[in-house]
Amino acid sequence: MSWANGLLGIRSKGSTTAKAGSLAGLHEARQVHQSQFFTTVALSQFCWRLVEPMMNRIAEEEGIAEGKARKLSVLDNSVGSGRLLHWANPEIHSLYGVDVDEGCIAALGEAAREAGFTYEFIHTGMESIRPKDFDFCLINPPFSINLQSPFLAPYPCTSYGAFGPSTSARSDEYALYQALNAAKWVVAILPSTLADEVYLKSVDAHFQHPFRRLRAMYDMPVDVFREENATVRVTVALFDLAFQAEAAPRQRVTDLCAEVEVPTLTGGMRREPRLKHLESDKSGPAITTPVSGDPAVRVCHDGRWIKLKFQCGLTEAMVLNAIYRDRIAAHRPHDEHRYPRDVKYVGQGALDLQIHLAQPDPMRSFWDFIAVIGRAGGTPVVEAGLLRYLRSQTKATARQKTPFRHTVLMPGTGSGTEGSMQGTAKKDHLVDPTKWGSAVIKAGTTVSFVEIEHGRHRFEHLGKQYVLPYEDILARFDLIQKEAESEWKVVYPGLAVQNPKLAEIWRARIRSLGIDAWLNRGYQIDDLVELAIKRGGVVAWAMALGKARAALAIALLLGGKHSLVVLKAALVDEMLIEIRKISLDGELWQVIETPTQLQSLRRINIISVDRLKAPVAPEHPRMTYAKKLRRRVGTIIPDEAHFLGNIDTDQTSAVWQVSAKRRFPLTGTPAGNYPRDCHGLLAFAGGDGTASQPYGYRRYYLDPSLRHSMALAERGIDRVLNTFCEFVWVTREFEDELKGAKREVPRIANLAEYRRMLAPWIKRRVVKEPDVASCVSIPDPTHETHLIEFDTDHLLHYLVVSEDFSKWYLEGLDEGKRNNLVTILARIKAVEIANNFPQHPKATKGYAPLTSKQRFCIDKLEELVDLRRRPIMFTGYPGNAELVARHLAKRHIDSVVIHGGKTIKRRNAEFEARFRKGTVPVALVTYGSIGEGTNIPQCSDVLLADKSWSARKESQAIARALRDENEWDEVKVHHALTEHSIDSYMQQVVSYKADSFNAGFDWGTPTTFNQEFLHMDVIFRRFCSDLSKLAGVHAHDLRKYLEKEVSHAKQRIAA
Domains and CATH numbers, the chain: 37-252 (3.40.50.150), 412-485 (2.30.30), 495-688 (3.40.50.10810), 779-790+849-981 (3.40.50.300)
Please give the pLDDT value at position 443: 86
**Helical residues (DSSP H) of 704-851, grouped into ranges:** 716-724, 732-737, 751-758, 770-773, 792-814, 821-836
Q: In DSSP terms, which residues pair with 620 in a beta bridge?
A: 617
Of the candidates 643, 668, 645, the residue with the CA atom closest to the CA atom of residue 550: 668
Element (H, E) at 450: strand 446-453
Length of the chain (residues): 1055
Is 108 within 8 Å of 81 (Cβ atoms)?
yes
Of the candidates 75, 59, 35, the residue with the CA atom closest to the CA atom of residue 188: 75
Judging by DSSP bridges, how do beta strands 164-170 and 159-161 pair with one another? antiparallel
Is 123 within 8 Å of 99 (Cβ atoms)?
yes
Q: In DSSP terms, which residues pair with 973 in a beta bridge?
A: 783, 942
Q: What whole-number distance in Å separates Cα of residue 573 and Cα of residue 931?
A: 10
Of the candidates 197, 156, 201, the residue with the CA atom closest to the CA atom of residue 174: 156
Q: What whole-number distance in Å separates Cα of residue 697 and Cα of residue 699?
A: 5
Please give the pLDDT value at position 812: 56
CA–CA distances in Å: residue 729 to residues 427, 565, 585, 745, 1015:
27, 39, 55, 11, 11
Say what the pTM is: 0.69
Quick one: CA torsion of 356, 647, 752, 425, rounded to 10 degrees? -140
What region, left, alpha or beta, does residue 293 occupy, with left being phi > 0 and alpha being psi -120 to 50 degrees? left
Of the candidates 293, 348, 352, 308, the residue with the CA atom closest to the CA atom of residue 326: 348
pLDDT digits 0-9 by tens, 324-335 = 999 887 787 876
Please give the pLDDT value at position 33: 44
Q: What whole-number distance in Å separates Cα of residue 207 and Cα of residue 846?
A: 36
Judging by DSSP bridges, how do beta strands 487-492 and 406-410 pair with one another? antiparallel
Longest dimension (CA), the chain: 105
Residue type, 370: I
Is 727 within 8 Å of 742 (Cβ atoms)?
yes
Residue type, 944: L
Give the chain's residues under pLDDT 70: 1-2, 13-35, 279-284, 335, 411-420, 434, 436, 454-455, 471, 481-485, 727-743, 802-827, 843-844, 931-933, 1009-1055
**Using only C-alpha atoms, what is the Rg of the chain?**
35
Write the CB contacts of 566 (distance below 8 Å, at least 6 apart in sequence): 607, 608, 609, 612, 636, 637, 638, 639, 655
Burial of 92 (0-12, 13-18, 19+ CB in 10 A): middle
Q: In DSSP terms, which residues pair with 944 in a beta bridge?
A: 874, 975
Write the CB contacts of 162 (distance below 8 Å, at least 6 apart in sequence): 148, 168, 732
Please give the pLDDT value at position 189: 96
